[in-house]
Amino acid sequence: MFDFFKSRPTDIKGIRASMLQFIKDQFQKVEGGEGSNIKGLSLYITCPEEEKHLYEGAVYADEEDRFKEEEVQKIADDYAIALPEIWTLEIEFVDQAPPEALKMPDVDAALFISTKKKPKVFHDATAMIRVLNGEAEKEQYTISSTSSRINIGRERRAHTADGFFRENHIAFPDSSSNESNRSVSRQHAHIEWDKEMGAFYLYADEGGIPPHNKMKVRTEGGLPIKLQTTEIGHRLQEGDQIIIGESALLEFRNAGVDL
């Protein structure tokens, strides 16, 4: 019997249980209970900022792969869902989940399951990164889905704490008199193209997370998103503004798709 008085979970365990129940239900629908064609899961969390700590706890945000291996894989094992030997789980905090993702009824999250039988085809894409505040080597950068990792930081060739050198492709010169440059770390962030999702993702690097420094993203019409870990990236969307350090500011714009 349906419980009309069922309330939304308000604690870490309840949120986790609700997510796992939804994932189990969707697993059993894919290929009639056969999961061998599943390539990966994308979990989009859309909770308000004041509840983010609960959702981070629910998915063990600070412990890489724990939610995947101890919770989701256990569901597959318990219900004889034969996942392939290699599958992926991506967890992302966003303002709005993509339309292809399935909204969870009891929590602020959505799920997308990618399968081998339904491959997604994406063409090469380009985007623009515009410098709104701070002084970089250029006022505007073009990035492409064919590019390798795009590093962001202070100085073009930065000497890192472990003795190596890192090339920053979007570089804020140390010699600049602009105050915003001073709070940009040498290893602050990077952008990568995710072929499976067909999107650019922004990741904080060691110098861009507490206690060293900070990084935030403000989406068009959305609340600021704080990147607290190097493991979980943010899917860049049209108009996203990226705060690097205290006040250096970048803007992301999709430039188009190359057919």
CA angle 220, 226, 228 (to 5 degrees): 150
> Quick one: what percent of the chain has pLDDT higher than 70?
88
Neighbours of 88 (CB within 10 A): 12
pLDDT tens sequence across 122-145:
567 899 999 999 999 999 999 999
pLDDT at 223: 66
Give dist(CA 205, CA 229) in Å, integer.
Answer: 8
- The whole-chain average pLDDT of the chain stands at 84
| Lookup: tokens for 210 | 């507490």
pLDDT higher than 70, residue 258: no
Least confident of 4-13, 228-237, 243-252: 4-13
- Predicted TM-score of the model (pTM): 0.55
> Given this model, what pLDDT does residue 124 score?
77
**233 contacts 225 by C-beta, under 8 angstroms:** no
* pLDDT recorded at residue 215: 80
Q: Is the pLDDT of residue 163 over 80?
A: no
pLDDT in tens, 71-122: 999 988 887 777 888 888 999 999 888 878 899 999 999 999 887 654 454 5
**Structural contact between residues 107 and 221, judged by C-beta atoms closer than 8 angstroms:** no
In the predicted model, is pLDDT for residue 58 greater than 60? Answer: yes
